[in-house]
Structures are given as structure tokens and as C-alpha cells.
Structure 1
Amino acid sequence: MKRSLSYLAVVLATASVLSACNSNSNDDDSDGDTGATSAGAWKAPVDDCDDPDAATKKISGTLKVGWSAALSGPLAGAVGAVLQGMKDRFAIENEAGGVSGVKLDVVTRDDAFDPAKAKANIGQLIQSDKVDVLDVFGSGQLDAVADDQNAACVPLLFAQSGVPTFRDVKNFPWTTQYLPSADVEGAFGVELLKQKYPNGAKVALAINQTESGKGLADGYKKALQGTNFTIVKEASLADPAAAATTLSASGAQVVINAAVTSDCPALSTAIGRTGWKPETFIQPSNCVDGKTLYAPAGAAADGQLVPVWLKNPASPLYANDAAVQDYLAKLKKLNNPAPTNSYTVNGWVIGDMMIDVFKKAAASSSGLSHAGILEAARVQEYQPPMFIDGIKWRMAPNAPLGILAFRTFQWNAAEQQFKPSGDVIDISGKYLTK
């Protein structure tokens, strides 16, 4: 059953994330035989587990979430902020008594963003640390661990990855992912363009040559089929300066950056040096941190658009938002060093979503067990307080997508902040049946 994927470059996704967006243009995220979508109707395939009894055993005392993560190397700072945000969310829940009296803990092992080390770490987390839930940063890491993790029937929740392969519920039933699929992001982007250009426009694509960038580009290409938009030029991001020169000569009104995080400021700066200012510049959803990804590009990044699903606690837009105020008050109490950091927010939200799953599992007939946790995750519908209002997390076995709506934000270089550009666009109707 092993699926061999390329080792993917990191993607620090919106409000966080360190993982590849997608690796396949055929983002078929459904399997017609995976069961009903109503809560409690989907059952974990425990008979296929190495140890079926362990999969159904009720968790007591402490529930351990094990992470294989880049705790060393250039990604360590961002990863550390994500993990601290999650630990803080767990700390708040533990202070309130835990989940049905079960306390929550986070166990970490360093993989230095190396898939081979991640594979070894997951084995140790399962066998030695006896964790109940797993998580990883990176699609290459997920590829390395998914077979072993599924055989062990330890649920891996909200992987910082968006690879279509692992949305195949039939072959990878014990794995769920957090990042948007390429098809979903592409469909959103095209809906946005239709609003701005009802008669169509010329589009240029900048493409990172990893599977991540190619996957996002293919998601856009698929969504653009049958529209009045024409792709007039594609350029590799292997050399941002060369890409900028190629794109600037294309005559395109729209530039779409199918990129990993490091490409976002690089392409902005390179295009700025050409003196060209495209009418519309859409960055990928993984490029959401204004301080590190937009501010360094100066005026060249002004007006760029990015799809977002998380509230930014540093934005004046949410100064009076009750959920943001509650979040900031709790992190202040816990002495979190960077509460407004987008990576911290991401970690908090992942922890919050896990807690929702754990509570639903505890209240289910399968109880707080590995099987119960998986069953709750597969049909989870939840509005995390730190999600933008009107954007829900929506999972179903035949559409395991999670994020199906975004709100566009536009970078204002003079004010050094993002400002909303339009309302939430929900494209769930394309994927979910009523």
C-alpha cells in the first residue's frame, strides 16, 4: 500500500504551517465506499489493525499527543511557536479538568525536517512513548510514516500537510490533514477572480518546482478550465529573478504564485525590481505572515492578496472580537512569549480542534479510545473560535477536506498590515452533498 511521494519543501501555511500544500493535480479526495457522513455513522476499521484490542481500549489518566517535528534547524522557531500554542491550549483544558477527567500531554521528538528521522520518531512514539494520537510537520514526513501509523491504528490528526494521497480514506483511514487541498484553494481563487473580472482576464502562473508548487498550480489550472481566463505564461520559481522577467513580459493582468513560503517574498521583490505592477497578485494560503513574508518586500508587496481562514490577533479588525480577546487573555496568563505570532495561533487552533474531537469521542459509543477519536475526527464539524466567522471545519468520510471557505486579505505596505478584501467565499457546495 506504500505510496511513494517526493520529499516536499516546507510550507509554513496560513497562520502557520510547515508543510507541503499538495502533490497531485488529481485531487480526488473522496471514496464513494467510505460510509455515511452523519456523526457516529462511520466506524473505524479496527479489524485491520495490528492490535485491534489496543485500538478500542479506553484511554485513562493521560492522553498523549506525539509530534515528530523540526525542533532543530531553520524551522525550529516557527515549529516551536506552533507546539507552544498547542501546549497552552492543552494547559487551559487541563486546568478545567481535562477531557472527562483525562489530562492532555504533548510528547515531541526532533526530526530536523528529515522524513527518515520522522519515520524512526513515529516508531518510538508508538512503541516507547505509547502515545494515543500522532502529528507531523511536512508532507514528506507524512509519506514516510503513514503506512506504519495506519498499521498501528494510532490516529494521526491534522497533519501539517495537504497531500491528496492521504485523503484516500479507504487506504489511509487513520490519517487526517489540516491544510487546504490544492483543488479547494484553486477553486476559491478562481471564484475570487470571477468577481473581479466577470469577462475574464489573462493569467500568469509562477510555479515552485516541488510537488507542492506543482500541485497548487494544477489546482488552479483545473479550476480555470471552462472559464474566460487564459493562462498566457508559466514560469519556474527556481530563479525568482528570471521568473519575474518572464511574467512581466506576459501581458497578464493576474499573477498567481503557486509557491512554498520562501518564494513569497522572493517573487514579490523580484517583480518589484522589474518595475512591473500586475493588477492582481494572489499569494498561496501558506504565505500569511505579514512580518516575515510581506514587510521585507516593501512596496513591491503592496496590494497582494492571500486567502485566509484564521483570525489575526494582531489586527485592529479583531480588536473587539470576543474570541480573540479570550485567546489573548489566556495566553497572557500562561506567559506565552508570542501570542500574536501566526504560528502560535495555528498551534492553539490545532489543539482546540483536537480537544473538540476528544470530547466528541468521549461522548460516543466508542468512547475515548483510538477508534473513538478517529470516528469523531472523520465526521467533525466545528467552528473554532479563532477561525474567521463564517468559516467552519467540515469533515466527512467522502469529502475529508476540512477547510472549504476563505476570506481574502490584502497587504497594505504603508500600514504594514493585512486588510480584508471582500467577504468570506464558501465553496463547500462544490464538494459536500446535502
Structure 2
Amino acid sequence: MRGTFLNLTAAAALAMALSVSAAAAQKKYDPGATDTEIKVGQTVPLSGPASAYATIGKAQAAYMRMINEQGGINGRKINLIQYDDAYSPPKTVEQVRKLVESDEVLLTFQIIGTAPNAAVQKYLNVKKVPQLFAATGAAKFTDPKHYPWTMGFNPSYFVEGRIYGQYILKEHPNAKVGVLYQNDDLGKDYLNGLKAGLGDKAAKMIVAETSYELSEPTIDSQILRIRDAGADLIFSAATPKQAAQAIKKIAELGWHPVHILDINASSVGAVMKPAGLEASKGVISVGYVKDPADPSMKDDPGAQRYHAFMAKYYPDGDAGSSFNVYGYITAQLLVHVLQQCGDDLTRANVMKQATHMTNVALDMLLPGISITTTPTDYRVNKQFQMARFNGEGWERFGPIIADTAKE
């Protein structure tokens, strides 16, 4: 009898051990992931010349609080660790090393800015840590052949610039074009894209190219050079502070060129209002997200969810800000990827899920726009619609423009 009992006990213990080991085998973790937590790291310019972007990080942190309140992702809470890098690449390097080597995050998410992302791209790829949905549209951040662990979120600056060039040829074929651009990959990609869109007419049509450094207190002299070159159309490939300065200076001069502005500087709250709503009237850009202030979106389910989120989780934020819309949809996309990972929370699987998205809809993307990625095409956003500022908000016009060609 005793032998039978011991045999049964041993069999039960063995069965339990096999059950535990089988369950453990189904779960795979890299640093930053456990049964209860997923660590995600990020740098945000909470201070410095690009601090207008700080609200993006605040909206993303609020979104993670919402998800955690709802039970987390597959039972795991998201621990979003944010550090201020002041949009300074050396500080980004310092903070990202801390995130990877000290905090041991599973991945980095939405590091903000072209230069900050460029400063840590090689490091993160050597470490094989996902540089996921980098807040930049420079071409080097959608290059899976050379940087398989990096995926940018923003629409390609080059493609956006090319679209502006094509628009100018169609609508303003005799324009004398002046270009104001930030002296980094952001500005240079836009400039090169514009020239590609203008094609063999670029050399004749572009009468001035002038760059600025992010640290410069004002870009007044650059605007004067463009005006004095005889430009009647200006393309500003800028970030918010300088874009607002450009609009304001153009108005002060009593100059009335056609003004095209890149999507990164299209925030009403951070650009148009500081520059002056009346001065901003007529500025042209592109968009891929819904305008939360658009009355036609009042009954849109996605917009309703966004407004409810802002009211409950980020009441101090401006619900009408495109930056907060951006923070919302990027956070929503991260949650989608982590949900798809299931219990395989390895860095390799994070990238696998991020590069196998098909027609993913996000609450605040414009109707007709969704997200599809492949292992050979890391571009998250490849669709646009032209827009014009009417003094209060952006009015969309024309069809959805899809870029299907490789860059």
C-alpha cells in the first residue's frame, strides 16, 4: 500500500513538473519582460529647443496608465521609463545607454527627433534592442538591410518632400522656390525629396536654399535671404519653433508667398497660434491623422475614444493638438505590437510582430489610411492627404496619396 502511495505521489509530482516546464516553455523573455511587467524606454525633449514635443511623451505616458488600469497587456503592466534628453544627441546617448544597460528595457519606443535617433541607432542595432517607431521620417530609419532593429514611425521626409515637388509642378509650375531647412537629416531629406519631385526643373525653379541650426535663436536672416532672392513660394522644412518664426516673420515683412510647411510643424497649438492664426492662413501641408477639432469628426467612434481618453487621462493636455493625437496613435500601435507578441516577449519577436502588420487601423488615422509593414518595407505611414490652414484648422483636399514605390 505504501509503495502504491509513493508511486502515485511521484507520478503526480512528475506530472506537475512537466506541466510547469511546459508552461514555462511557452513563455519567452528577454531583459525587460516578466510575468508581470514590460519595461519600455524612451527619451523625450521635456526641455530645450524642441520642448514643444514634450506633450507627445506625456500623452504616451497617459495612454500607458490607461492600459495598465484596464489590466495591462496579456496581464502584464507596462513600465514606460522616460528621460529628458533636451533634444541633444549627446544626452540621448547617455540616457539610452542608461535605459539599456541599467534599466534593462525590452525595447526603446518613440525616441523623439532625427538627430537624437541617429546618435543611438548603431548602438541599439549592435545591442539588438528594438528602436521601435522612432519619431522621425528620415530614410535611414526605415532601412532593414543595414539597421534591422530600427523602425521609424513618421512618414518619410523624402517622400513627403517629393509630394510637395509634384504639387508645385502641377499647381505652381512657374514658381520661384525658396527653401528653409533644418541642417540635419530631417531638413536634407526634405530638400532632396523636393528636388526629386521637381525633377529636371529643380535647378531652375529653386532660387534659394538656406539652412539653420536648431540652436539658432532666430531664423529672420534666412527668411530675408529667401525673399531677397525673389522667391514667391517658400518651403519650410522645419521643426515647430522655427516654423512659427518663419510664418511670423513673413507676415511682418508684408510678404505673401505661397507657403508650404512640413508635417512635423503643422501643429495648430505649437506653431499656428504662436505665429498668429491670421498670419498662418493659407499655409499648405499634408496630413494622415484626423483633426480632433473638426466638427465632422464629432460622431466618429475613433475620435470619440480619443477625446474620452484625453478628458480622463490627460486633462491638462490640449485635446486639439496634433502632437497629442500623434502620442495617442503611436502608443496605440505599440500596444498592438505587444499584444501580438503574446507570451513571447523577446526582442526578436517584437521586431517580427512590428514588421508583419497588415491594414492595422488606428483611432485617429484619416479614413482610408491604415498601416501595413513587411520585413523588407519598414515604412509605417505611406499615405497622405493635402491640407490647407484656414485660420482655425486644417482643411483636407484632394485624394489620399499612397506612396507605393521604394525610396
Structure 2 counterpart of 1:361: 341
| In 2, Cα distance between equivalents of 1:174 and 1:137 | 17
Runs (4+) of structure 1 exceeding 6 A deviation are none
- Per-residue deviation, residues 306-355 of structure 1 (Å, max 9, x unmatched): 11122222332422222111111123222531133332222111110101
Q: Say which SS state the counterpart of residue 346 (structure 1) adopts.
A: helix
Unaligned runs of 5+ in 2: 1-27, 213-217
3-state SS of the aligned residue for 1:402?
Answer: coil
> Aligned residues: percent identity?
24
> Residue 384 of structure 2 aligns with which residue?
406
Tell me which of 257, 261, 273 is aligned to 2:252.
273
Q: Which position in structure 1 is the counterpart of 2:17?
A: none
Aligned to 2:373, the other structure's residue is in SS state strand
Q: 2:126 — aligned with what?
A: 151
Amino acid at match of 1:153: K
Residue 83, structure 1, aligned to residue 83, structure 2: no
Q: Normalization by structure 1: what TM-score?
A: 0.77
Shift of residue 359, structure 1, vs aligned partner: 1.9
Tell me the TM-score normalized by structure 2: 0.81
Identify the structure with bigger relative contact order (alpha carbons < 8 Å, sequence gap 6+): 1
With over 3 angstroms needed to count, the CA separation of the structure-2 counterparts of 1:150 and 1:55, relative to structure 1, is farther
Task: Give a deviation string over 1:30-68, Cα, whole Å, max 9, x none.
Answer: xxxxxxxxxxxxxxxxxxxxxxx9659975311111112
Of residues 302, 310, 321, the one that matches 1:341 is: 321
**Counterpart mapping for 1:311-390 below 5 A:** 311-338=290-317, 339-362=319-342, 367-381=344-358, 382-390=360-368
Match of 2:85 in 1: 111
Contact 1:302–1:412 (CA under 8 A) maintained in structure 2? yes
Q: 1:178 aligns with which of 153, 159, 163?
A: 153
The CA distance in 2 between the partners of 1:368 and 1:383, in whole Å, is 23
Distance 1:103 1:310 in 2: 28
User: What amino acid sits opposite 2:329 in the alignment?
Assistant: V
Worse-matched range after superposition: 343-352 or 229-238: 229-238
Q: Pick closer, same or farther for the CA change 1:227–1:237 going to 2, 3 Å.
A: closer
Q: Report if the CA contact (8 A) 2:263-2:286 is conserved.
A: yes
User: How much has 1:237 moved relative to structure 2?
Assistant: 4.8
Note the alpha carbon deviations across 1:260-284, whole angstroms, 9 max, x for none.
3222122222222333322x32111
Q: Aligned-residue CA RMSD in angstroms? A: 2.7
User: 1:251 Cα shift?
Assistant: 5.4
CA contact (8 A) 2:232 2:256 kept: no
Q: Which residue identity lines up with residue 272 of structure 2 in the other structure?
A: Y
Note the C-alpha offset of 1:378: 1.7
Corresponding residue SS for 1:119: helix
Q: 1:205 to 1:361 in 2, by over 3 A?
A: farther
The residue type paired with residue 248 of structure 2 is T
Amino acid at match of 2:368: G
Q: Structure 1, unaligned stretches of length 5 or more?
A: 1-52
Question: Counterpart of 1:201?
Answer: 174
Per the alignment, residue 263 of structure 1 pairs with 242
Once the two structures are TM-superposed, the CA of residue 223 in structure 1 deviates from its matched residue by 1.7
CA contact (8 A) 2:39 2:106 kept: yes
